[in-house]
């Protein structure tokens, strides 16, 4: 059908501290990395050969996915970095520069290629998108999704004519200045000739550099308007919202793991829950070897990772607890993302264990 390319070399600075030690594509949704959902989706649509560019904490991606055989695909990796003073230092080449590096190395892009960002979950009909690209004899296509006008400032906006031919771009325009509400989803379709336009050996970006070049040269470059779920994790607040949507069951093909023990409540193996005195309002997932003591209260949508500990009288509301997080006695964690080291509210404000004047006592359940 086509080849696949997943962009996974960025640092994910806008979702720190989630990405302090974890590549952004490895941030978990329902216990699975975002990148795993992308690979599964590509495989369902017959895309079997996939390249991934990597840089920061690259080994965590490579060790998890290996050669891809568990997902019925072949995966190759392109590391972006350099040796400095005897150390290997990650150095991303930009979205287009990373593709050109792969092409110069082995000529992988020898047919139509679907390019996707590694930090968003989508259910795009890939076959239909490829058919439209080929029907229009496009050299490049960008898949767009209409967003409310009051949200255009969060996206790159694509301006196209009635035939879908791209005429210009606006990067995060004010609502009153926006010439379109078609947001770029970071999903692109390229013919091999596109890579010849990217300068070799230097960082180069798809959206800000390659696309304006295509427009300036009058090449067949089209925008596709599609209707599909696009779950973008650009900011910390986005991550919290994504988990809320997923736990409520709003996203197809994302099923809750574990065993459903009562309506809206799923558990992993070997949990210790005082069911007679604990109040749980679903949807809630409780991971394996998690202890929830008497008088605790859990209000969904909430995800509690494995090895967590909720002490007596504690409350967790509409939150995400990563593995081995402990919530102190009678403490209230409301609309938060928490780990043993940090606590982030739904707006992205971050606290760390040991900070002064923290409104909640929490820590490491292993201690």
CA 306 and chain centroid, separation: 21
Residues 235-293 have pLDDT tens digits of 777 788 888 888 888 877 778 899 999 999 999 999 999 999 999 998 999 999 999 99
pLDDT band at 92, cuts 50/70/90? Answer: confident
Which pLDDT does position 245 carry in this prediction?
Answer: 85
Mean pLDDT on 111-132: 93
Among 111-125, 138-152, 247-261, 315-329, the least confident range: 247-261
Mean pLDDT on 10-39: 84
Question: Mean pLDDT score of the chain, rounded to an integer?
Answer: 91
Instruction: For residues 93 and 95, give the distance between their C-alpha atoms in angstroms, rounded to a whole number.
Output: 7
Output the six-digit token pair for 206.
């798809």
Which pLDDT does position 293 carry in this prediction?
Answer: 95
Which pLDDT does position 294 carry in this prediction?
Answer: 94
Do the bridges between strand 259-262 and strand 265-267 make them parallel or antiparallel, or are there none, so unpaired?
A: antiparallel
Q: Are 327 and 313 in contact (CB under 8 A)?
A: no
Residues 228-240 have pLDDT tens digits of 888 877 777 778 8
Q: Between 359 and 19, where is the model more confident?
A: 359
Residues 323-367 have pLDDT tens digits of 999 999 999 999 999 999 999 888 888 888 877 778 889 999 998
Which pLDDT does position 56 carry in this prediction?
Answer: 87
Residues 46-78 have pLDDT tens digits of 999 999 999 988 899 999 999 999 999 999 999
Which pLDDT does position 12 carry in this prediction?
Answer: 67
Sign of the CA dihedral 65, 62, 290, 332? negative
Percent of the chain with pLDDT over 70: 99
Output the six-digit token pair for 126.
């890939």
Cβ partners under 8 Å of residue 145, min gap 6: 182, 183, 185, 225, 226, 227, 228, 230
List 333's β-bridge partners, or say none: 316
| Residue 300 in this model has a pLDDT that exceeds 70 | yes
Which pLDDT does position 69 carry in this prediction?
Answer: 95
């Amino acid at each position: 059908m086509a080849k696949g390319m997943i962009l996974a070399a960025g640092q994910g600075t806008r979702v720190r501290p989630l990405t302090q030690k974890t590549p952004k594509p490895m941030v978990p949704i329902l216990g699975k990395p975002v990148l795993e959902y992308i690979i599964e989706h590509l495989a369902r649509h017959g895309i079997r050969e996939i390249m991934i560019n990597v840089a920061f904490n690259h080994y965590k991606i490579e060790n998890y996915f290996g050669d891809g055989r568990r997902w019925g695909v072949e995966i190759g990796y392109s590391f972006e970095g350099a040796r400095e003073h005897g150390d290997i230092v990650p150095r991303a080449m930009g979205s287009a520069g990373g593709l050109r590096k792969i092409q110069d190395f082995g000529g992988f892009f020898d047919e139509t290629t679907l390019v996707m960002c590694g930090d968003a979950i989508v259910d795009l009909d890939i076959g239909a998108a490829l058919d439209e690209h080929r029907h229009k004899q496009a050299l490049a296509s960008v898949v767009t999704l209409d967003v409310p006008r009051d949200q255009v400032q969060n996206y790159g906006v694509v301006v196209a004519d009635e035939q879908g031919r791209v005429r210009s771009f606006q990067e995060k325009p004010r609502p009153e200045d926006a010439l379109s509400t078609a947001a770029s989803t970071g999903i692109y379709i390229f013919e091999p000739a596109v890579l010849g336009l990217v300068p070799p050996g230097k960082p180069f970006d798809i959206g800000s550099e390659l696309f304006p070049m295509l427009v300036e040269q009058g090449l067949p470059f089209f925008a596709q308007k599609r209707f599909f779920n696009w779950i973008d994790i650009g900011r910390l607040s986005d991550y919290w919202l994504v988990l809320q949507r997923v736990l409520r069951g709003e996203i197809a093909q994302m099923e809750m793991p574990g065993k459903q023990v009562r309506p809206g409540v799923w558990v992993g193996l070997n949990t210790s829950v005082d069911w007679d005195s604990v109040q749980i309002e679903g949807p809630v997932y409780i991971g394996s070897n998690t202890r929830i003591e008497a008088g605790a209260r859990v209000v969904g949508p909430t995800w509690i990772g494995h090895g967590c500990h909720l002490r007596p009288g504690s409350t967790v509301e509409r939150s995400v607890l990563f593995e081995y997080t402990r919530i102190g006695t009678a403490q209230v964690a409301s609309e938060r993302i928490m780990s043993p080291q940090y606590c982030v509210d739904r707006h992205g404000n971050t606290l760390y264990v040991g900070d002064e004047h923290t409104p909640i006592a929490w820590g490491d359940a292993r201690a």
